[in-house]
Amino acid sequence: MKVWATLKKDNKISRETTIDMGYLLKSQGLDYKLMLHEVCSELDLSQPVVLKKHLNEIAGFSRVTFKPDDFMEPVDFDKLDIELFYDKKKE
């Protein structure tokens, strides 16, 4: 599975990263805390506050958006978008 995270300011991508989380099918589940920790470490961010709505978005749609209000510390972007790309089934 790959994770693509983008920081956007004024509707333009200011920073982005792609992280390979190893081979993982959607049916195998995902440790969201580990994934979010990896993304925040790579982009040098503090961890956002994760609400039930964030977990529902990522579980249902394989994507989630965090806004500046979701962070305890001030941030210099308008939103953090995270999108998951699961591996296809091996034949």
pLDDT tens for each residue of 46-83: 999 999 999 899 888 999 999 999 999 999 999 999 99
pLDDT at 29: 59
Paired tokens of 87: 């591996």
Q: Per residue, what are the HEC states of 19-69?
A: EECCCCCHHHCCCHHHHHHHHHHHHCCCCCCCCHHHHHHHHHHCEEEECHH
* pTM for this model (two decimals): 0.86
Mean pLDDT (the chain) is 88
Closest CA to 40 of 11, 14, 3, 10: 3
The three-state secondary structure class of 70 is helix
Domain boundaries, the chain: 2-85
